């Protein structure tokens, strides 16, 4: 047994710890380099880390189509305010439950009416563009059209926005019963009004406005197109812009 043990010792190579560790480190380094150049020895396919996703930017309102054309072609048998001979026409596409449409009514509409519509320089045409996510918008549009049948469309238009404004900011929730209450308060014949609203008599008219607006490039509310009655340049304005934005566009067209 002693001879066997002695013989094995002669066949053994003694290596110091430092040398051993050095060899191990060198081998591991070599394997790492080889792995990088062969993509894991061809066994594991490496993938590039995904790039961080850019934060989503809020969607900007899409401008209606501008350019040149006949602004009168955008008019239907909708409510009009102002002289039929006014040289400039504003076609508005609006949603009664849209807070930005209400903002335009509260902040800007009255000044335009005073300075331009009442002065015979501008006629405004109101067209409906109720958005699908506003549950009261469609019936509100119908209610105003029903009121227009009794020659009180603009009174109902103003009443809807005024009553919403009383209730606070943002999108105000209300329903058909509220529309009927407001209609009674402006002196409509309620039997005629209720028959019109409940039957959906004006629903097709609303859909026509939506279709025409979509064709013209309207995707949000409020959207305005301003042009000379005689044709030519059409200026689009999107959103509840301040009075000066409208004044600038109108004054250019009046020159």
Q: 169: which residues sit within 8 A by CB, 6+ positions away?
A: 99
pLDDT at 28: 59
Entry field: residues in the chain: 255
Q: 79: which residues sit within 8 A by CB, 6+ positions away?
A: 125, 126, 144, 148, 153, 154, 157
pLDDT at 23: 59
Partner residues linked to 109 by β-bridges:
none
Average pLDDT over residues 2-13: 35
Average pLDDT over residues 71-77: 93
Cα separation of 30 and 19, whole Å?
A: 17
The answer to whether 222 and 231 are in contact (CB under 8 A) is no
Cα separation of 47 and 54, whole Å?
A: 20
pLDDT at 22: 61
Alpha-carbon radius of gyration of the chain: 36
Band the pLDDT of 7: cuts 50, 70, 90.
very low
Average pLDDT over residues 89-116: 98
Residue 238 to residues 3, 70, 225, 235, Cα–Cα distance (Å): 102, 19, 9, 10
Band the pLDDT of 88: cuts 50, 70, 90.
very high
Residue in 250, 252, 239, 255 with CA at minimum distance from that of residue 82? 250
pTM: 0.74
pLDDT at 24: 52
Give residue-wise pLDDT tens across range 193-214. Answer: 999 999 999 999 999 999 999 9
pLDDT at 31: 55
Structure tokens at 253: 């067209």
Give residue-wise pLDDT tens across range 15-58. Answer: 444 554 565 566 555 655 544 444 444 333 333 333 333 322 22
Q: Which residue has the higher pLDDT, 23 or 112?
A: 112
Lowest mean pLDDT among 39-43, 47-51, 124-128, 237-241: 47-51
Cα separation of 133 and 123, whole Å?
A: 30
pLDDT at 68: 75
Neighbours of 115 (CB within 10 A): 15
pLDDT at 69: 83
The CATH architecture annotation of domain 68-254 reads 3-Layer(aba) Sandwich (3.40)
Average pLDDT over residues 210-221: 95
231 pLDDT exceeds 80?
yes
Buried/exposed code over 32-66 (b: 16+ C-beta within 10 A; e: otherwise):
eeeeeeeeeeeeeeeeeeeeeeeeeeeeeeebbee
Structure tokens at 31: 């394997």
Share of the chain above pLDDT 90, in %: 72
Give residue-wise pLDDT tens across range 139-180. Answer: 999 999 999 999 999 999 999 999 999 999 999 999 999 999
Q: Is 228 exposed, middle or buried (0-12, 13-18, 19+ CB in 10 A)?
A: middle
Share of the chain above pLDDT 70, in %: 74
Cα separation of 196 and 159, whole Å?
A: 18
Band the pLDDT of 131: cuts 50, 70, 90.
very high
């Amino acid at each position: 047994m002693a001879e066997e043990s002695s013989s094995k010792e002669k066949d053994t190579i003694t290596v110091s710890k430092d040398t051993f560790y050095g060899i191990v480190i060198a081998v591991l380094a070599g394997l790492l380099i080889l792995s990088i150049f062969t993509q894991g020895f061809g066994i594991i396919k490496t993938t590039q880390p995904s790039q961080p996703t850019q934060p989503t930017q809020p969607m900007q309102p899409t401008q209606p189509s501008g350019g040149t054309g006949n602004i009168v072609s955008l008019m239907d048998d909708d409510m009009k305010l102002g002289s039929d001979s006014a040289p400039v026409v504003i076609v508005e596409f609006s949603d009664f439950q849209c807070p930005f449409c209400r903002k335009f009514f509260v902040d800007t509409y009255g000044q335009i009416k005073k300075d331009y519509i009442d002065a015979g320089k501008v006629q405004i045409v109101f067209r409906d563009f109720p958005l699908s996510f506003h549950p009261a918008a469609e019936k509100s549009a119908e209610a105003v059209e029903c009121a227009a049948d009794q020659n009180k469309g603009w009174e109902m238009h103003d009443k809807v926005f005024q009553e919403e404004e009383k209730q606070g900011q943002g999108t105000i929730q209300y329903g058909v019963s509220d529309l009927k209450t407001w209609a009674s308060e402006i002196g409509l014949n309620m039997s005629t009004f209720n028959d019109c609203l409940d039957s959906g008599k004006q629903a097709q008219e609303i859909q026509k406005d939506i279709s025409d607006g979509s064709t013209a490039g309207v995707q949000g509310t409020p959207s305005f197109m301003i042009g000379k009655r005689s044709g030519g340049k059409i200026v689009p304005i999107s959103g509840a812009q301040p009075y000066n934005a409208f004044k600038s566009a109108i004054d250019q067209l009046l020159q």
